[in-house]
Structure 1
Amino acid sequence: MSALQGSGGPRSRLNGERERTIYAGVLGLVRDVGFEALTMDMVSARLRTSKATLYRRWANKAELVAAALSHAQPVSVDTIDSGTLAGDLDELAVRAGGCAAEASSLFSAMTHAMRTHPDLEQAMRRHFIDVQLDAVRTLVARAVRRGEVEQDCPAVPHFAELVVGALVSRHFLTGCDSDPAYLRDYFRSVVLPSLGCPQPGSDWTS
């Protein structure tokens, strides 16, 4: 996913490696102190980067944090295309479930901050949440085109929320991570039946 560019001036000359270092450092600070206590001064000091360089690239700390989360997103949904919806969901379960603990911890911290910081909520929705929802919608759109799912199925408009909700909400609700086994079972017993799809076999990709 592309990084964000602040609206306050021209794009700074940060190479890819330096950009990745900044993103990793920012997420480390978020884990250490939380979004509320995070400042651009902290980022500048820890990463030995001038604030002028940071502000040329990112308009504020909300944009920077959203960019860091987007860049660190370990699951690239738009690269999943197995040829069937069941296979796509199986692959998503493996990819997303494999990094569930770290993702849940970060997202939980950000969810609280989003409630009290409208700029963060807007940045997260624009550059992270909406991007993920749109990518997941492509999975069911392909299934409709292939004839696996009826176009007028009433569950189709809710597919993305059903899938993404399972990825991010279980830890908050139960304290348990959405690991691959849980996601496979959820996709098999909840998501696919809601779309009128037959449950796959034991290997879940047949």
Structure 2
Amino acid sequence: MAVEKDLPHTCSQGEKGQCPNEARRDFLKYSSILTAFAFMPNMAVKAADLKLEEKLVSAFEKVNVTLNINGKKRKLSIEPRTTLLDLLREQLNLTGTKKGCDYGQCGACTVHVDGQRVLSCLSLAAMQDGKKITTIEGLADGHELHPMQAAFIKHDGFQCGYCTPGQIMSAVACIREGHADSDDEIREYMSGNICRCGAYPNIVNAIKEVKNGGQKV
């Protein structure tokens, strides 16, 4: 801490940037807290009934974001580390978007951000400020299913259904992107979405029907 006191508090970045000395102090503060929790004896933690995660989270400042989610404007205060997937599921109760691998490899968490498909498990919520987000809950028009949802039902494009929300969101994007002109092209641009039940042929048929039917997606 003596080193920190000796640092001159000068900054040439003005109000828009963080002073290097302030950034260093923040780093020292947070790393000290992490170290303290890491070496705290297990019995002491239990005896004090401390909730380590809550204590650790409280050390970090929250950020304010404004998101347009399924047509509704939401003003939120979130932790900088929060992923878009966790924000949707844990804070907004939009559980249609699924957490599969949490490594961006299965596609179950696919949503649309400003019309583009995005893996929400790899996207920080704080980076989506001001953007338009659409989840599986936002595709239908009231009680009227989106054409892709109806096509998945018609062609049995799912079995267990866990991957289905992500499959449908990617399928819609696949057509919007102009990558649904053949079976091979559909398979290529849907390859990031894994169906462990193996419903791939039916998924391809559902996408082809919507594409060939000229329905608005």
TM-score between the two structures when normalised by the length of structure 1: 0.26
Greater strand fraction, Structure 1 or Structure 2: 2
Higher relative contact order (CA 8 A, sep 6+): 1
The structure number with the bigger radius of gyration is 2
